[in-house]
Amino acid sequence: MDVVSTMVIAQRLEALAPQEPRIVVSGNYAIPWELVDVAAATIPVFRYFILNPQEGWPRREGIITETPFVGAGVRSDEDLKYLPMRLSLVPRLFASSRPPDVVMVQTSTPRNGKVSLGIETNILPAAIEEVRRRGGLVIALLNRQMPYTFGDAEIVVDDIDLAVEGERALPSPDDRPLDEASLVIGENVASLSNDGSTLQLGIGQLPDAALDRMHHRRHLGVWSEMVSDGIMKLDRAGAIDVNRVMTSTFLFGSAELYEWAHENPRLVMRRTEVANNPARIAEQPGMLSINTALQVDLYAQSNASFVRGRIYSGFGGQPDFVSGALHSRGGQAVLALRSWHDKTGSSNIVPLLHDPVCSFQHSAIVTEQGVAPIFGFSQQSQARSLIDHAAHPRARDELSRAAQVMHLLGSD
């Protein structure tokens, strides 16, 4: 690993310009902005491959962003190339249809011949392995404020070609106070947990609200694509089993969370192929997968990706964890959402989805109205459960009429 200036980085990238290279970049809150900006200013036409690009992501003619999970930085990008696929399969793309020429990562500073990917492991180990096999470049931003995490996050310095040094506080999602509906939904979801459950949480207020209501639990485990402040608080409350390693692939939270994660021997970061592998998920005892959706229809199909017909996020790990949790001994796959959308004055439980489906066949759908169990139910009983226990009272009559037309309210 050679520590160089951004000018040297620019020169090396400029030499790749005729190839119209593909650059894989750390996503979420680990974006190496200094490196991203150098590439955007240097290469006329190229492709970025990233998960969940944040606000400020460079957009101009000649920059094409590819992603299986859309973030705020590209939601209105007309040139966006959204890749609809479950996250566990994304690393396969690097050895097939989307080979990387460059990988840009943000890491910790070196120690004992290694650096750590810190808060974002995800698809990066697979990208680094493939770009090295292809003879491409691995470039790192060495950030003194990046926490050092263990497991697949650790990269030997010999796997990095060029690095620049920097020091910048890592960003965090906005802190949004929980409203009354969130608190009730969190309580309803938490009622499905048990001592010894293994937890997986998606992004959002509702999974965090559920964690806040589990502090009385004991011997909980964590096998989750993401770890947030809610897991840190559970750990401090004594709810997490100290003899079970917490598994994650990225961190999404506050500066306090990043400090908690730094050199934490009980937190192990795993690459996407491991953390999101449904077979590995199924091995976890009492797997409780908690995800969110924008809409659910009477067939219990969920839309978690599209808003007004446009891509908003993506499959993410939801289908991986729904499948894995349902194969776990005592496992459950729970979908949480508000029953009513106040801004549009419409129900989030709908007769039939018009947007692409992200997942289905959950154990239960949970709203502030209650818990609608659906696993093993007939179509008729499933629809009735959703209407009676998850839908808003203002929507129930209309949903019942629709269910009648759809032949979903006959005898079981």
Q: Among 225, 263, 273, 368, which one carries the catalytic annotation?
A: 225
CA distances from 7 to 42, 143, 220 (A): 10, 18, 49
The CA distance from 150 to 346, in Å, is 45
| Element housing 163 (H / E) | strand 162-166
Residue pair 147/108 in contact (Cβ under 8 Å)? The answer is: yes
Question: Is 225 an annotated catalytic residue?
Answer: yes
> Nearest Cα to 287, choosing from 324, 238, 244?
324
CA 130 distance to own-chain centroid: 23
CA distances from 264 to 125, 152, 346 (A): 20, 14, 45
The CA distance from 249 to 356, in Å, is 26
Residue pair 151/245 in contact (Cβ under 8 Å)? The answer is: no
Helix axes 205-212, 229-236, angle to 10 degrees: 10
For residues 104, 108, 111 and 115, what is the CA-based torsion angle, rounded to 10 degrees? -30
Phi/psi of residue 184, nearest 5 degrees: -70, -45
> Nearest Cα to 267, choosing from 118, 127, 125, 141?
118
The CA distance from 392 to 368, in Å, is 9
Token pair, residue 117, equals: 């990917």
Residue pair 252/224 in contact (Cβ under 8 Å)? The answer is: no
Q: Which residues pair with 147 in a beta bridge?
A: none
Residue pair 292/317 in contact (Cβ under 8 Å)? The answer is: no
Residue pair 276/317 in contact (Cβ under 8 Å)? The answer is: yes
Which are the contacts of 338, defined by CB distance < 8 A and separation ≥ 6?
181, 185, 348, 367, 368
For residue 8, how many other CB atoms are within 10 A of its CB?
Answer: 13
Q: Which residues are catalytic?
A: 225
